[in-house]
């Protein structure tokens, strides 16, 4: 369904914006977009990612292979130290 995989390094053909694909989305209209997140800034802050249409993206060499866990739902390895107060 998605032509570009998560973790791929991509470049917007129009603006030159580059980064790593962090999320994928299909809208009801059929439009496919990817959230492209750039490298961390030199001051240590995370720049804002951009949602870009699939046809505008060019896959570049490199990228990362994200660790994906099977299925969804709660992550059994992440538990609160104490239950929330109600």
Higher pLDDT, 84 or 35: 35
What pLDDT is attached to residue 32?
A: 96
The residues spanned by each domain of the chain are 9-59
CB atoms within 10 A of CB 60: 11
Question: 54: helix, coil or strand?
Answer: helix
pTM more than 0.95: no
Q: If you search the block for the tokens 């809208």, which residue do you land on?
A: 27
Closest to 68 (Cα-Cα) out of 21, 35, 34: 21
> What mean pLDDT comes out for the span 28-44?
93
């Amino acid at each position: 369904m998605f032509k570009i995989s998560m973790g791929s390094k991509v470049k917007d053909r129009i603006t030159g914006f580059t980064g790593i694909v962090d999320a994928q989305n299909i809208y009801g209209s059929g439009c496919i977009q990817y959230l492209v997140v750039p490298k961390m800034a030199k001051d240590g802050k995370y720049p804002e990612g951009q949602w870009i249409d699939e046809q505008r993206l060019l896959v570049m060499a490199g990228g990362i292979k994200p660790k994906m866990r099977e299925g969804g739902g709660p992550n059994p390895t992440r538990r609160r130290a104490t239950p929330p107060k109600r």
